[in-house]
Amino acid sequence: MIAFGPVPSRRLGRSLGVNNIPDKICSYACLYCQIGRTLKMEVERRPFYEPEFIFEEVARKVEEARERGERIDYVTFVPDGEPTLDVNLGLEVELLRELEIPLAILTNSSLVWRDDVREELLSFDFVSLKLDAVSEPLWRRIDRPHRNLSLERILEGMLEFRDDFDGTIVTETMLINVDYGDELERIADFLAELKPDKAYIAVPTRPPAEPWVEPAKEDMINLAYQLFSERLGEGRVEYLIGYEGNAFASTGNVEEDLLSITAVHPMREDAVRELLRKAGAGWETVERLIREGKLIELEYDGKRFYMRALPSRRKP
């Protein structure tokens, strides 16, 4: 299927997906990939589908959605492999502009060192760059890149792209159960240089390529959040930790609101108390959610924070 959706996305609202790469051709073989193991590792760009065919499939889906009265906020390249491997990407973007819908792409960043790839990415309105590590050993362990790729060139390419890009740029860092050492501080330092509009912290929420892979512990996720926020500023770091419910909605139910907010970012104790006060609720709500395994209490820099527990770590 070339076009699918629209589906709800916290980053992109209502997103119509474009699958421009067959399953599963990629430049990486990430430990945590939800699509599964990479079947064919490639770094040379080549054609996969006719650009006109992709346009026709997307246009048809857009028309169907409009007939149903469904809103589409973005047409998003989010395929079963790495989208920038498609040598026709620029042509496809050119054709899709006719639909007058903003265009987004989620890339693993592996080819952003190439001039032609950066040039084509400039045509998008929203670009998400993967940033799982900034040191070679951890990058090779987690993302398992094609042997011909260089992390140094990729990071330089990301910075070059940032300098030229006028649209929205975000990063996504997947945290899993490996030893990060001081890597999170290094990533935070790179983010300070890159200056994305938002940095997302993710964990695996579906079965990964390697069965032993699990989400990082909540204290590690909280540490990443605090370090990234210190470098980028408040409001520019969010979780993508996979939770049921709508992170945007205020339900009027203090328990649901608390769980929704803390699924996006941790809340300091004073902020939690203020939320409870406004809702006329007591601290026993927090204590009960902790007992039920829905909320986690964490500490950072001498302050207490509360975060929604990862579904994968919730007590049965």
Cis peptide before 6 (omega within 30 of 0): yes
**Residue 222 · residue 300 · CB < 8 Å:** yes
Question: Would the CA dihedral through 80, 314, 199, 252 be positive or negative?
Answer: positive
pLDDT at 229: 96
pLDDT at 246: 44
Question: Would the CA dihedral through 131, 8, 27, 49 be positive or negative?
Answer: negative
Q: pTM, whole model, 2 decimals?
A: 0.84
Euclidean distance between CA atoms 152 and 176, whole angstroms: 22
**Residue 276 · residue 262 · CB < 8 Å:** no
Helix, strand, coil content of the chain in percent (nearest 5): 40, 20, 40
Cα 126 to chain center, whole Å? Answer: 12
Question: Would the CA dihedral through 230, 235, 236, 237 be positive or negative?
Answer: positive
pLDDT at 258: 85
pLDDT at 310: 66
Which carries the bigger pLDDT value, residue 38 or residue 146?
146
Q: How confident is the model at residue 242 (pLDDT cuts 50, 70, 90)?
A: low
Where do the domains of the chain lie, and which CATH numbers do they carry? Answer: 3-242 (3.20.20.70), 246-316 (1.10.10.10)
Tell which residue, 232, 226, 221, has the closest CA to residue 313. Answer: 221
Three-state DSSP class for residue 79: coil
End-to-end CA distance of the chain: 36
Question: Which residues contact residue 2 at a Cβ distance below 8 angstroms, ignoring those fewer than 6 apart?
Answer: 18, 19, 20, 49, 53, 54, 57, 58
**Residue 200 · residue 169 · CB < 8 Å:** no
Statement: residue 245 has pLDDT above 80: no
Q: What is the pLDDT of residues 148-157, one digit of tens each?
A: 999 999 999 9
Statement: residue 254 has pLDDT above 90: no
Q: How confident is the model at residue 265 (pLDDT cuts 50, 70, 90)?
A: low
Statement: residue 257 has pLDDT above 60: yes
Euclidean distance between CA atoms 239 and 291, whole angstroms: 23
Statement: residue 206 has pLDDT above 80: no
pLDDT at 76: 95
